[in-house]
Amino acid sequence: MRVRAGFCVAAVLAAGLVATPATAAAATEPQYDFAGAIRETVWVDIGRDGDGDGVTDRVAADIVRPAEPAASGGKVPVIMDASPYYSSVGRGNETEFKTYDDQGRPVGFPLYYDNYFVPRGYAVVLVDLAGTNRSTGCVDVGGKSDVTSAKTVIDWLNGRATAYSAKSGGSAVSADWSTGNVGMIGKSYDGTIANGVAATGVDGLKTIVPISAISSWYDYYRSDGATFGFDPDGLAQTVENRNGGQDCSAQNKKLADGATQNGDYGPLWAERDYAAQAKNVHASVFVSHGVNDLNVKTINFGQWWDGLAAAGVQRKIWLSQTGHVDPFDYRRTEWVDTLHRWFDHYLLDIDNGIEKEPVATVEREPDQWADQPAYPAKDASETTLNLQAGSTPGIGTLGTGAGSGTASFTDRAKTGEDAWAANPSETSADRVLYSTGALSSPVQVSGTSSVTVTATPSTDSARLSAMLVDYGPAKIRNFSAGGEGITTGSDETCWGENATGDDACYKTTSADIADVDYTIVSRGWADLANHQSLSEESPLTPGTPYSMTFRLASTDHVVPAGHRLALVIGGTDIDFITPPANLPKLSLDLAKTSVRIPLAGAVPAGPRADRLPAGPLAHVAGRASGDLR
């Protein structure tokens, strides 16, 4: 790894030379004095009154930009991170917060974006969403207030909105230093807002870099009718700034009322469904996500990616083996270099060829990366695998041959995926398991799978859980540990210039590796009562069969030769979803139950299923999370 430590300014350009396409080559190297950069705050009027105080809300935008172009009337593009976390839970692996001097001027900007990019001719703008940190109004967890908070700042940077020098009153401030070209970036909630703003089609937003980001808030809190047990009003109360005097109780009640506990997809979720609005996106999109992210489940990047493809959006994607982790903390040098070229191309119009490079980069083993020309993989095709009963109850065959037989399990709401997968050759009262034989050649699962289940419940309510499992030894990132696949060290590397109160240096990280006997490739959950519609439950009649298709999480995973691919189906996975009111026994019609997988490679029609290893197996335990950071 090439380690960069404390870049020095090579030269301060003469007055008149600015970071524009005409002098684009200069933007690829540090040329401006970071310590002397302009630091300021403006408050942008977003035209909404979220806290109902009779005054339109203003969001605080903290800005750091090079002084040299400003002195000569030059203009620079903007890298923006809009977040609710700058004074609540912090940003990055080292939990950084914004800081200010005794006059309220911004000093410390979390993360390295300002340290690295301002010397290279960019402005960095960190926006407090309405209702957070120094902004007025109320956060609405991905709704119109959140999205408008960032969109209106882009409008201001393009001369279409008004900003002021103070939180109330003050004088109007123009962004005459901005080219109007904006790139949004951020992890988790921040990247989610980037998705939401891009889905408005706002003019001036040239690119977004969503990291571990949500594309549909429904799929953060719910899954095909099933609920994860946490709700948006709780997140709102975590991040709202109560020191400004605003009363957000009315907004929080709207969140609580709109997020119905029955798991139905309603108007609140439709407003926050950016994937459904992907046709409006004009900006390029560089996605990063961990395939083991159990916080922002990977269905979020998969459906967003597919929607962007349908809209013809230029895209790039990195998929790691980590959980909810920023690529700066698992592949630092390559990430910063790639991000730098991405912003140079889309914000400064530099012809550096990045748009012609491989579309997808996937981590196959810890720190072992492979490029692909496309995601999903070009040779992956939708393959239906069927279930055949075996001689052991609840254990059978997964293959391309016709399905047959029946099986049953009881939802006790006491166990979850690891207990279900750990003894694959044994009957379990809680789940059923169907497996290929040992594969003669590797197969690649690349894209978003789905399961169709025909089940007869013994009660009037039922949940379903399903997962794809790769049985065989592997080294993987230990995504269930505290670092979600990384270990943080004590040494530091520096990524840009330092200034008083604004450090560019960050602790190094390394892969946290675990040896396992099986890998859960993809997961999904559903409420059988939503078999007809996600928008409205249908009553279940005990003893009546119901068919339902639900999604498994998006991924890209190679099952090596000699391993087995299995489908596991159970009731309530207690590690993730809430149980039904009346726990049922569920009987499956295997002839009408199948899994549809985007698969590259061949799976036999009907291998023997009794070759699975006996006894408990080692695995990294998964975990759900309601902590969106």
Cα separation values, 488 from 85, 305, 410, Å? 22, 31, 42
Cα separation values, 310 from 252, 301, 313, 563, Å? 35, 14, 8, 34
Q: Is the peptide bond before 539 cis (omega within 30 degrees of 0)?
A: no
pLDDT tens by residue, 361-401: 999 999 999 999 999 999 999 999 999 999 999 999 999 99
Least confident range from 79-83, 224-228, 237-241, 281-285: namely 237-241
The tokens of 529 are what? 């009562």
For domain 21-372, which CATH number applies: 3.40.50.1820, 1.20.140.160, 3.20.20.150, 3.10.129.10?
A: 3.40.50.1820
DSSP class of residue 499 equals: B
pLDDT tens by residue, 470-529: 999 999 999 999 999 999 999 999 999 999 999 999 999 999 999 999 999 999 999 999
pLDDT tens by residue, 39-79: 999 999 999 999 999 999 999 999 999 999 999 999 999 99
Whether 437 has a pLDDT exceeding 70, the answer reads yes
Note whether 1 and 495 are within 8 A (CB): no
Note whether 621 and 418 are within 8 A (CB): yes
CATH 3.40.50.1820 intervals, the chain? 21-372
| Residues in Cβ contact with 257 at an 8 Å cutoff, skipping those fewer than 6 apart | none
Note whether 141 and 188 are within 8 A (CB): no
Catalytic residue of the set 293, 329, 418, 589? 293
- What's the pLDDT score for residue 602? 83
Distance CA 536, CA 529 (A): 8
Distance CA 120, CA 77 (A): 11
pTM for the full model? 0.93
Nearest CA to 480 out of 352, 624, 602, 618 is that of: 624
Distance CA 355, CA 341 (A): 10
Distance CA 487, CA 314 (A): 33
Note whether 359 and 316 are within 8 A (CB): yes
The tokens of 141 are what? 């967890």
Residue 140 is among the residues annotated as catalytic for this protein: no
CATH 2.60.120.260 intervals, the chain? 381-476+515-600
Residue 188 is among the residues annotated as catalytic for this protein: yes
Residue 324 is among the residues annotated as catalytic for this protein: yes
Domain topology for 381-476+515-600: Jelly Rolls (2.60.120)
Collapse the DSSP code of 396 into the 3-class scheme (helix H, G, I; strand E, B; otherwise coil) and give the result. Answer: strand
Catalytic residue of the set 135, 149, 178, 188? 188
Catalytic residue of the set 324, 340, 345, 531? 324
